[in-house]
Amino acid sequence: MKGLRLKMNVGKDIDAEMTVDFDQSVEALGDSAKAVVIDALTAADLNDPAIESWNFKASGKTIVGMGKSDLEAVRRLVAVLSPGDFGPGGQQATQTPPEKGSPITASESAAPAPSPAAASQAYYRAVCKTLDQMGAKSSPTQSGAWLHAQARMIQQLPAVGVDPMLLEWGDSISGAFNKAAQTLVVGQQNAQVAAQGVQSPTGYSESQSGTQGGAVTDTPESRAAFRNAQQQRRQAAQQQRAAAGDQALSILNEAMASRGKVRVLMVQKYNVEFKNP
């Protein structure tokens, strides 16, 4: 994958179009184009659950995906795809003060900074909104992608004038999201390994399509053995997913519990209310 472009047409609905460029022809992918894009984005830590419901088509060296989106999905995608505070050539962007005698005045060179109380309130509300949006997704992979995108969004919130204690708290929430996301991803991988560790009954073999082939002697006993092996695979995979889910939930609950303490400290320090969104 060489590059990626994202376009949003906002009207009554939000119509999204993603163009992914590759260094060689991808036309032969056919119906597999969507799976290839999702795998590539996942490997690059850029996948988002919203993308998995889009339609994709391969043509030449390009794959184009189109689908509906919503405001929260836009926020996640922008956060995930943002290059961060880097300028041309990959160099970190820095502000250079005007030279002495420059005609640029102080009011022209920078906008007035918000008060520490107002900046801290806005930052607190933004992080709390992310915490309140947590919920179960359709799969551990989608949950991990959502958590990672939210962590990136928190890392890119405006920090000018924000209380250092709040910034440290936001960083801890972001770290918890990333840790929980990684836990879910590893749990999904462990689930696949556990399922593959359950052997097929004697007389069965994997077919080229990836499904179980018939037994050498197809009897009620052999069919029952096959169904039992399938059930064991599902149970083994589910146990791994459940363990990873419990661990991730513990990480997130600990992060949630820190909100009340931070709110009390901020109210006491600035003597203004810090409300949830």
Higher pLDDT: 84 or 61? It is 61
Look at residue 96 and tell me if it is in a domain: no
Q: Between these two residues, 117 and 42, which has the higher pLDDT value?
A: 117
Q: Are residues 3 and 66 in the same domain?
A: yes
Residue 267 pLDDT greater than 80, yes or no:
yes
Residue 97 lies in a domain: no
Report in angstroms the alpha-carbon separations of 20 from 27, 38, 70, 84, 93. 13, 11, 21, 20, 26
Tokens of residue 104, six digits: 């640029």
pLDDT digits (tens, 9 = 90+) for 62-72: 999 888 877 76
Q: Are residues 132 and 78 in the same domain?
A: no
Domain match, 71 and 162 both: no
| Domain shared by 274 and 165, yes or no | yes
Residues 6, 53 share a domain? yes
On the 0-12 / 13-18 / 19+ scale of CB atoms within 10 A, 138 is exposed
- Which domain, by its residues, includes 158? 114-204+213-277
Asked if the structure places residue 261 within a domain, the reply is yes
Does 99 map to a domain? no
Angle among Cα 123, 50, 125 to the nearest 5 degrees reads 10
* Residue 108 belongs to some domain of the structure: no
CA quadruple 184, 189, 190, 196: dihedral, nearest 10: 150
| DSSP three-state, residue 198 | coil
Domain count, the chain: 2
Determine how many CB atoms are found less than 10 A away from the CB of residue 114.
15
Do 224 and 164 lie in a common domain? yes
| pLDDT over 60 (residue 103) | no
